[in-house]
Amino acid sequence: MKEFLRSMATRRWFLKTSGVATLSLASSPSMTQPAAETPSLPTEHVDLTINGRPYSLDLDPRTTLLDALREHLGFTGSKKGCDQGQCGACTIIINGQRINSCLALAVMHDGDEITTVEGLTEEGVLHPMQAAFVRHDGFQCGYCTPGQICSAVALLSEHRAGWPSYATADVATAPALTDAEIAERMSGNICRCSAYPNIVAAIREVAEEGSQ
């Protein structure tokens, strides 16, 4: 009951304070009513390059990058799992680095270059990491998979750049990409189906192919 009341309270907050973001709920008049009480705030203009193409948006500054991608632009590959940076399902690559898009305000990324899981595929051909996940059965339900794959792609560039991890015995060295290193470096991506062994195998295979 407490949880229910809390969720209602949160929902009321949302309705009371939402402006632009309530568009998707606009079909119910009773729901749009409270939103009208909020004085409208200026939107912010945001230019993003997503998977190599330019996009222009005018957004409520509260919009996260994840919501901008999913709700405003239709890039639904990135998933909303926890919405608090703990699960990694929303992982995207921004200016070459992986981040949790649920904790990023889109307005702060004006001018940035974004790669989502949709951008990894080239002309219908799967990215080697996508193909390896398929080959190794690196998933069950698949919900975390776009985040896992974006994370894994970025992991390989970090490793090539010599980044250490907490699993690295001597942080002043560039470590080999052992299974322990892969597991540590992937710890920001949770898989509720626990496909971890196959995820590690897929990443290891792509890493080995890349180093040949």
- Sites of contact with other proteins (CB under 8 A): 2, 6, 13, 17, 19, 38, 41-42, 44, 60-62, 64, 83-85, 88, 91, 97-100, 103-105, 107-108, 110, 151, 154-155, 158, 161-166, 168, 170-172, 183-185, 187-189
Rounded to 5 degrees, what angle do the CA atoms 142, 80, 197 make? 35
Distance (Å) of CA 57 to CA 25, 44, 87, 129, 194: 20, 8, 27, 31, 37
Shortest distance, position 57 Cβ to other proteins, whole Å: 14
Dist CA 133 CA 138 (whole Å): 5
Distance (Å) of CA 65 to CA 4, 31, 44, 153: 28, 25, 13, 20
Shortest distance, position 195 Cβ to other proteins, whole Å: 17
Shortest distance, position 198 Cβ to other proteins, whole Å: 19
Judged by beta carbon, residue 41 or residue 134, the one nearer other proteins is 41
β-partners of residue 93 are 98, 115
Shortest distance, position 159 Cβ to other proteins, whole Å: 11
Hey, what are 103's tokens?
Answer: 């904790």
Judged by beta carbon, residue 110 or residue 137, the one nearer other proteins is 110
Judged by beta carbon, residue 174 or residue 193, the one nearer other proteins is 174
Judged by beta carbon, residue 23 or residue 134, the one nearer other proteins is 23
Dist CA 79 CA 133 (whole Å): 17
Distance (Å) of CA 71 to CA 54, 198, 199: 17, 31, 28
Shortest distance, position 123 Cβ to other proteins, whole Å: 28
